[in-house]
Structure 1
């Protein structure tokens, strides 16, 4: 395998930043209880602004695919590459614009580039790292000289009142209500992209890719973040929306068209994520004192505090002044988050030659954790 370099990053955050007091103008008003829960959730996640691809009148300014394509064009421009140099596109998302065909096909179509190898990765946040690993390995194997990985989310379309009103009876349950509301007040829209090449870039900061690793713990945990199945039937996939005897409308009444986050289960999964990190420390792949920058995706400041508490008690803590995040201003853009973070990290010029940058993307969907180690050139 030849050396691989991350040579550019780009982002697409649609529209103007939306402060907390204007969120409902984009995602719509449910009821007074929703807004009370929203204020509580915002205190926990500490997001101050985010971006939506829905206007205040409910019109879409982008598609999911166009968010990714715009971010990729930004990365190509930042790196000084021509589109003809790109030979591989790995596109990640939680849910594409269509059920069929794959998301990468839609992104390629929006991109308007020539013939490309493509790969679609559908998961939740860690799908970005799946795409990044595929792109990096393709360059390392000599299959591509320049490969792109994108992550993009159009989460706000899930949060319109019409996705909740069919399941009004179900939402009388306090546990189900909080599970549905947490993501409504936490997730937002955006696209991010990174480029991998067989040589360092000439225009933007470049990083040698030391390694990328990803582990699923789905054999140990039930589904934690889910859409497509009601919260009362998570254990049997034959109860998903596509199997519902009453069809899609009946599935919506059972809550299958809403996004849920099981907050109780999430606390257990956090401990497992930290356990996987500590395996890397014990195995010598990560030296906490030797890490110069940590770019860790997390959905809320309260979850960051949970992680820090565990790291301090286990001796695996990386000093907080080394943590870089743009969650308060860019919001939680799911699979796009790490790439959007890297773009801002580059623009601020924070890395110095020789710096070790550890990137971590956990995923609560069904307990995935991923890591990427970079060395700044």
Structure 2
């Protein structure tokens, strides 16, 4: 890791080992070379993911009527990521939308595309999400917040050893593929709890309260010197993620939208393996039934945390491994700690004969 994002001081390296132990991450991916130069961008990774998805589908680029692109932090401030991806693909004229801000940017993009296809206004849509955050964590970007020995503050170093780069895409149609298993979207629940929780993860400000934008500094150099361009996480607020996720699930369960005993798989995006244990214990403490641990599916340890793209890569991996059979029900789980939101996506595996 340090070969790609740079070597911090000795105390920060000790923190790295602790973070990796808690997260369970053993391998990850960077869109950088060993000179810390970007070899991919969000735009190019998104285009690659879309082209790969199209190549394995029954549609062409010309069939795309709606393109939704998601990321936590885009390549540029403007234009939007979806416009950049559309330009990179050079596909036909279509409607586009960009979503930003955290892990649920991907779920928001999926929800928007689903509503278009489900309502009949479009019959073919593509959703793509990408994270290219390794470049944000290069040593050079942390010089102003590091100590003389190169140590990084914990709230900055924590994320540095959690996040990975990558992209994933999904094709949405108004009918299943003629061959193999398709995933029908039954419903998507996506709720924000920003009205009851303070900011937990932030970039573009030196402090989470109040949020003074980096634009408010005299110059970009002044903003960087103040630490406003260092990505941070308020670690004291992370336990609130567990409460938000459990309470949101409980509401869906009590309203009979979730039958935990019929769910075959629970594809889950979480930032570390320890969080999974905390969630399961809290569900148990409250007497809320959930799919057992062995039905939760994550590739975190092998892939790393790729934020908004994670759930798409997880589902692709499950399909590629033939883990999903016709008739299976899936409940995807995507929490986001930036300002606290959580998504649950209910899917059913179907075939053209269903």
Using structure 2 for the length normalisation, give the TM-score: 0.95
- TM superposition shift of 1:316: 2.6
Q: Please list every run of 5 or more consecutive structure 1 residues that lacks an aligned counterpart in the other structure.
A: 1-22
CA distance in 1, matches of 2:320, 2:169: 14
Does the CA contact (< 8 Å) of 1:170 and 1:255 recur in 2?
A: no
CA distance in 2, matches of 1:364, 1:190: 20
| Counterpart residue number, 1:347 | 320
**Aligned counterpart for 1:46 among listed residues 24, 32, 48:** 24
| Counterpart residue number, 1:254 | 226
CA distance in 2, matches of 1:111, 1:38: 38
Matches within 5 A, 1:69-84: 69-84=47-62
**Aligned counterpart for 1:182 among listed residues 134, 140, 158:** 158
CA distance in 1, matches of 2:46, 2:307: 13
| Counterpart residue number, 1:16 | none
What SS is found at the alignment partner of 2:37? coil
Matches within 5 A, 1:265-284: 265-284=237-256
- TM superposition shift of 1:141: 1.2
- TM superposition shift of 1:171: 11
CA distance in 2, matches of 1:90, 1:264: 33
| Counterpart residue number, 1:321 | 294
**Aligned counterpart for 2:190 among listed residues 195, 214, 234:** 214
| Counterpart residue number, 2:345 | 372
| Counterpart residue number, 2:100 | 122
CA distance in 2, matches of 1:257, 1:30: 18
What SS is found at the alignment partner of 1:373? strand
**Aligned counterpart for 1:59 among listed residues 27, 37, 43:** 37
Confirm or deny that 1:168 pairs with 2:146: yes
Alignment RMSD (CA, Å): 1.6
CA distance in 1, matches of 2:75, 2:326: 40
- Count of residue pairs the alignment pairs up: 349
Does the CA contact (< 8 Å) of 1:79 and 1:202 recur in 2?
A: no
**Which deviations, in whole Å up to 9, do the C-alpha atoms of 1:23-62 show, x marking residues without a partner?**
1111111221221110110001011111111011222221
What SS is found at the alignment partner of 2:96? strand
* Shift >4 Å, 4+ stretches: 169-172
**Aligned counterpart for 1:205 among listed residues 178, 181, 184:** 181
**Which deviations, in whole Å up to 9, do the C-alpha atoms of 1:107-136 show, x marking residues without a partner?**
111112121110010120001010001001
Confirm or deny that 1:292 pairs with 2:268: no
**Aligned counterpart for 2:331 among listed residues 337, 351, 358:** 358
**Aligned counterpart for 1:235 among listed residues 197, 200, 209:** 209
Does the CA contact (< 8 Å) of 1:79 and 1:203 recur in 2?
A: no
- TM superposition shift of 1:169: 5.3
CA distance in 1, matches of 2:149, 2:308: 27
**Aligned counterpart for 2:276 among listed residues 282, 300, 304:** 304
**Which deviations, in whole Å up to 9, do the C-alpha atoms of 1:217-249 show, x marking residues without a partner?**
000111101100113xx2233x111112x3221
Confirm or deny that 1:85 pairs with 2:59: no
